[in-house]
Structure 1
């Protein structure tokens, strides 16, 4: 039994360790979220550049999907899809995402490029 006026010993240590653990877990989770956002931005940029490279190569009569694949690889991505429809190129790319606690999903992005379409006059 505790006597009146005797200070409690060690209670603040337990609370401090618990708060430190929570802050450490929160910091790690925020780090993973930041890495996911950065990887998604990388994937979307690689997809946009691959689509533009493919459309430019298609415009001069070359292999659009080959150019898109080289552009994706130069931007640390893998070309997963390439479709040429008329003068338009649609691509899909994949980049490696952060792997934390067994998470193995990679991030994907799609883009299309081709000549601009002008809406009909008066419409």
Structure 2
């Protein structure tokens, strides 16, 4: 029995495995990047909301904490899903489109809270 061509078959099989592994790593990497983008947008939107709330809330120049969150989220490629104001704390949730590779259809969301630091005892 001849072993001629066995190396070619093994090389093609290994190339296929490497191609699939590379595609899977690309999808995972894209998911991580999209999640980081969502978290950054949520953090910035929460900070903008808390700043707007702390500096007087709704005025002609500043329409309010949640409106500030909408603007900042949109500027960072995200969509504001919800905005809660509780006293001086603001909690926002944003959503960014996830990668659409290999059948992925889910969007990624992130939540952030901003407000004054609470005083803690010794």
Q: TM-score normalised to the size of structure 1?
A: 0.90
- Name the larger-Rg structure: 1
Moved over 2 A (4+): none
Structure 1 residue 54: Cα displacement: 0.3
The answer to whether 1:12 aligns with 2:13 is no
**CA offsets per residue over residues 15-65 of structure 1, 9 Å max, x none?**
100000000000010011111111111000000000000000011222100
Q: How high is the TM-score relative to the length of structure 2?
A: 0.91
Cα distance in 2 for residues equivalent to 1:27 and 1:71: 34
Q: Tell me, what secondary structure is at the counterpart of 1:116?
A: coil
Match of 2:49 in 1: 54
Equivalent of 2:39, from 40, 44, 48? 44
Tell me how large the CA RMSD over aligned residues is.
1.0
Give 1:99 deviation, angstroms: 1.4
**How far off its partner does 1:100 sit?**
2.0
2:30 to 22, 30, 35: 35
